Structure formats: structure tokens, C-alpha cells
Amino acid sequence: MTLGKTAPWPTELRLRRAEKVLDIGFDDGRRFTLPAEYLRVESPSAEVQGHGPGHKVIIAGRAHVGIMNLEPVGNYAVRIKFDDLHDTGIYSWEYLYQLGVEQPKRWRDYLAALAEKGLKREP
């Protein structure tokens, strides 16, 4: 994003529980379908992101994780409650947009990190 430009604002947020995805549309026309597993392993919580640069924790075994609930946080974010009981991540609209834009690269990096550590997506 360029300085002075307002961040894209969500125009639609739809949870499809059976498919385990979150659909989100933004006012710039971009739309993303974000799988629950991807959202879970990229949670903005300290449990996942760590407490500083380079401290990110690789979360394995979440291939079948689902989303139980979405809870608004002010007018700037949503808390996602996953069925593995993780609910400490607050996903700002800006972070959800970033996850959508960066999904291909982040997912490749996640799969590579799992492989490097000998971990699997399956529980």
C-alpha cells in the first residue's frame, strides 16, 4: 500500500462452514476465498507469530480444521474461532487483505517449512 492511501475495506464476509472457507470481498473489487487451515496456520496471534521477528511457529496437523464462529472486533477486525479451540487471533481487515494477496507465496512457504521440519498437514 502506498502512503496516504486508505486500506481496502471489506464489503462482504461470508463463512462457508461446510467448505471450511471464508469468502471476503473488498471495496477495490478484490475477492478472496481463504481456507480455514490457511487462516489457522497464519493466525496473527502470538501463539503462532511468536514474540518477535523470526519466532513464527509452524503449526502442523490442521488439514481438517474448521471455523466455528466469527466475532466482530470493533469495526476494524474479526476474531476467528476455530474448532481446534484456537481463538486468540484478531484478524484486521488489512491483515485479511494481505493474506489474500500473499496466499500463493505464504502457502508454498508453509508447505516447505512443514517438509523441512518433517511435519504434516494431516493430524
DSSP structural state of residue 122: -
Amino acid identity at 96:
L
| Residues 54-81, mean pLDDT to the nearest whole number | 94
Beta bridge partner(s), residue 45: none
The pLDDT value recorded for residue 5 is: 61
| C-alpha angle 49-55-56 in degrees, rounded to nearest 5 | 40
* pLDDT tens column, 105-116: 999 999 999 999
Amino acid of residue 121:
R
- The closest alpha carbon to 58, from 107, 117, 122, belongs to 117
- Hey, what domains does the chain have and what are their CATH numbers? 10-117 (3.30.2020.30)
pTM above 0.85, yes or no: yes
Q: What's the pLDDT tens digit per position in 15-66?
A: 999 999 999 999 999 999 999 999 999 999 877 887 777 778 899 999 999 9
pLDDT at 78 over 90: yes
- Could you write out the DSSP letters of every residue in 27-78? TTS-EEEEEHHHHHHT--SHHHH-SSTT-PPPP-S-TT--EEEEEEETTTEE
Rg from Cα positions in the chain: 14
